[in-house]
Amino acid sequence: MFPLSRPVAVALLLFSWANVQAQTPLTLAEAERLALANDVAVRESQAQAQALREQAVADGQLPDPALTLGAMSLPVDTLSRSTEPMTQLSVGISQAFPPGATLEHQAARTTHMAGAADAEAAARERGLLRDVREAYLELGYQSAALQVLADTRRVLVDIVAVTKSLYRVGRANLQDVLSAQLEQSLLDDREHESQAERDAALAGLQRWTGTLPGDVAAPAGLPELATPPTQEQLQAQLEAHPMVAAASARVAAGQEAVEAARQQYKPGWMVNVSYGDRIGREADGMPRSDLVTAMVTMDLPLFPGKRQDRRVAASVGEAEAMRFARDGVHRDLAGSVCRRGNTAIPNRFCRRHATMPRPRLAPIAMASPISPR
């Protein structure tokens, strides 16, 4: 044998280690961690919730004050500040105050929307973990099933060979041969079904975890799972479900929008204070005094029929729609809990088995003699 150089030996060692790592069985905890790390929908909802929390702080603040600078009563012929007694340079500041508790209700509405985004992120996270766990368990089950089917195939191949040999020497009839071939065809169909379901589970797991083909191996065994809750326990926990919590938060946000719209029946206010600087002297020789102006502006909601009333009605309609949406979410979840039971799994497998195509069974079944009863 020729001795390997050190770089070649290191390269071969790294290549072998990479192959071993690629075939290391993926644990359920690692699959869940990778799925959460690679899912952008959860991070999107979390970022949206953070943005809404920041927006809620801004929604509760007064509008920015306004600064006014101007030259008042300046004669256009001379542009002199001392000619006219009312000529002045003024500086003023004004502050608007929205009607009633509009700011408080706007901030509360945005805060509830942030809570809804947080709940949606939690619901997305739960749904993702559910899908990953189902795919992981399906992958483990179908991998084990394929191994059992492979062992069974070796036995059936021997049985078919022995049956054909006995038929040739007259110690077995044609029905025995066809029955053995029928069992082998049934096994072929079951293998094809298991392989397809295993490939689908593997593809889903690779998509959610972000792993490349070949990086996911069949789990060595099923993980330890907690005892599932009863239907009564699930029904009692429906109100705490993130989807219901998100819908409830949107209902609360809609109610705050209604209250904010009702504040528009109250007048809004604006306060303005300005200072006018004058130069020159009065007729008696005294220097002209500077001027201070203070004003208060008030809205007059005298005709609410086509503005305030319509806004309140629109907000009430949106709040009602959110209540109906929450009731629909609660009803759907309650229906899912009611449909949950031991009969759900057998029925699902029976439907899949009944609809599974069997192109190879028809000619064998037709050739098999059926003895009349």
In a domain, 30, yes or no: yes
- Spatial distance between the Cα atoms of 331 and 311, rounded to a whole number of angstroms: 30
CB-based contact 97:62 (threshold 8 Å): yes
CATH number for 131: 1.20.1600.10
Rg (CA), the chain: 39
- Spatial distance between the Cα atoms of 233 and 326, rounded to a whole number of angstroms: 21
Amino acid at 198: R
In a domain, 312, yes or no: yes
Owning domain of residue 147: 25-62+98-266+301-367
CB-based contact 198:139 (threshold 8 Å): yes
In a domain, 272, yes or no: no
In a domain, 93, yes or no: no
In a domain, 285, yes or no: no
Element (H or E) spanning 250, and its range?
Answer: helix 242-262
How many residues in total does the chain contain? Answer: 373
In a domain, 107, yes or no: yes
- Spatial distance between the Cα atoms of 155 and 187, rounded to a whole number of angstroms: 11
Per-residue pLDDT of the chain (373 residues; tens, 9 = 90+): 444 454 444 344 444 434 444 456 778 888 889 999 988 889 999 999 999 999 999 999 999 999 999 998 888 888 888 888 888 999 999 999 999 999 999 999 999 999 999 999 999 999 999 999 899 888 888 888 888 888 888 888 888 888 888 888 888 788 888 888 888 888 889 999 999 999 999 888 888 888 765 556 666 666 676 777 777 777 778 888 999 999 999 999 999 999 999 999 999 999 999 999 988 887 777 888 999 999 999 999 999 999 999 999 999 999 999 999 999 998 998 888 777 654 444 444 444 444 443 434 334 434 444 333 3
Number of domains in the chain: 1
